[in-house]
Amino acid sequence: MRIRILCLAASTLFAASTFAARADSYTFTISTGPTSTTPGTTFVVSGTLTGTPNLSNPSNPAIDLTDITGSGQGYAFTGVVPLGANPSIAYDNLVFTDPDAAHVDALGDLITLTSPIGTSLAHVYNNGTYHVDIFDPNDPVDITPFAIETFTLTPDAVPEPSSWLLLGTGILAFAFATVTRKLVPRFQ
């Protein structure tokens, strides 16, 4: 009996840890407007971003951004700069998932961006209004700021993980073995 309880507890713990470690996926669109330094220049990029849930503030859920792909108008987001990899910029790579919340924060996200002139960094942040600062790949001191006009974030449909199916099958087999053991007389 103890072995059965321990097996069931271990299965439940395994399933819970698998559920907590899942990565969420979202479809995003960013469109920018021209600024005083970039009159007539805008860009629209859409794609997919993924991350793990961050519930440190349950009233404002977020994800820790781990990957991003997306392109538009000659720009392409190709990756996320890991935390601490660039000490010259303050960023936390959090993206807020509540549609009524600010989607980027004052620290923001640091993303690798390719464009017709090369690969650079894009710093997406919010200090009262949304901004995307694009660093010139040929002159990292030269920054082109864009004001984000719209930022949409839509959760992607996530299929049921196979681990839940495996856990359910194990529990059913356990229950079937228990019932069978009671119904079939033991041979001595």
pLDDT in tens, 37-63: 666 667 788 888 888 888 888 777 888
One-character DSSP codes across 66-77:
EEEEEEETTEEE
115 pLDDT higher than 50: yes
Sign of the torsion angle spanned by Cα atoms 63, 64, 67, 72: positive
Tokens of 66: 């781990």
With a pLDDT cut of 70, the percent of the chain lying above it is 70
Q: Give how far Cα 6 sits from Cα of 1, 11, 12, 15, 179, Å.
A: 9, 9, 10, 14, 19
126 with 104: CB under 8 angstroms? Answer: yes
How far apart are alpha carbons 107 and 152 in whole angstroms? 19
pTM here is: 0.64
**Which has the higher per-residue pLDDT, 96 or 20?**
96
Domain boundaries, the chain: 22-155
pLDDT in tens, 150-182: 777 777 765 556 666 777 778 877 777 777 776
How far apart are alpha carbons 163 and 167 in whole angstroms? 6
How far apart are alpha carbons 97 and 50 in whole angstroms? 12
pLDDT in tens, 58-83: 777 888 998 988 888 788 889 999 99
Residues ≥6 apart with Cβ < 8 Å to 90: 107
Residues ≥6 apart with Cβ < 8 Å to 45: 29, 30, 70, 71, 72, 73, 75, 76, 77
CA 188, chain centre distance (Å): 58
